[in-house]
Chain A
């Protein structure tokens, strides 16, 4: 019973939403010519935690899910923000591109808890290869320019 009361009580404490429609000059897609196929995968599987604009499904209003999501978004954005990619130095951009490829190769990203709830974030082998190749090629071409 006490648990139920706590459960209901915490429903009223909701973290602020991460929602911004502003298109920044530092946006990944402004910086690079990204194929639509790649953009679509990133938006479906990564942007909820790595951009300034998260999608909020039904359960996101139920605690403790809302807190967990807010935490993922905060930590995720600190690590990588596609909307602010241009604010990284070129060296860090290269590191991030390689990091993305590595995380997908190692099956670390998207987070497994997220994949359970988002079918589209379960990337097929082809989708993974597409992203990894594109990221690695981009990293190589940026390195060659330095």
Chain B
């Protein structure tokens, strides 16, 4: 009998430990009337310029309507919430990213784009879900944010910067000394991994025009 009681107690803790599991997002396929033309413009090669070497290069004229802009906006909201140590706003932004991804009409992409997009989007979706589900656990949100930032950097390389100048920043002090990157819309450093602990750790590694 004692064993069974212990079993119950453990069952209770187990259930409590597990309650933030899956928050499934419906994969609604919403046809976006504009996306056909918008995606066609993706074919234009986007250029990522280095701050130092970039003077002579043509800036990217991005007229991409979807999903670049919306996704980048969601990501930047997340980044800014983390920089302010605001776990709740970060969760909201994580959910926004998931919702935006659910709107993408894969069929409007070319085959080549589809492969690249799927790979990035699947990963982004998972990180977005975990960030959304973990309000109050900012350390865990930041772990997912690190991986999401790599996805975002690759996303911008493939699909452009949505027409806005972005910065790729790097802080060597996080992640057990391995460092980590993030994407920002402002030149000034506002570290999303350390927040108020050390807001100015980092340097601009790349300017994406």
The chain A residues found within 8 Å of chain B, CB to CB, are 59, 62, 64-65, 68, 71-72, 75, 78-79, 89-92, 94-95, 98-99, 102, 106, 108, 111-114, 116-117
Q: Taking A95-B126, A102-B143, A112-B17 as contacts, is the C-beta distance between A78 and B22 under 8 angstroms?
A: yes
Fill in one digit per residue for B87-128: 1 if any A CB lies within 8 Å of its CB, else 0. Answer: 000000000000000000000000000000011101100110
Task: Tell me whether A68 and B15 are in contact in the complex, defined as CB-CB below 8 angstroms, given that A89-B118, A92-B123 are known contacts.
Answer: yes
Nearest Cβ in chain A — how far from B59, in angstroms? Answer: 27
Instruction: Report the nearest B residue to A58, measured CB to CB.
Output: B3
Q: Tell me if B10 and A117 are in contact (CB < 8 A).
A: yes
Judge whether B56 is part of the interface by a CB distance below 8 angstroms: no
With known contacts A62-B4, A89-B119, A89-B122, A116–B10 Cβ distance under 8 A: yes
Q: Is B151 an interface residue (CB 8 A)?
A: yes
Q: Is the CB of B120 within 8 A of A113?
A: no
Instruction: Tell me the minimal C-beta distance from A130 to chain B in angstroms.
Output: 16
A91 adjacent to B11 (CB under 8 Å): no
Say whether B21 contacts A75, CB under 8 Å. yes
Which of B4, B14, B127, B140 is A72 in contact with, Cβ under 8 Å? B14
Which residues from A are CB-within-8-Å of B17? 111-113
B55 contacts the other chain (CB 8 A): no
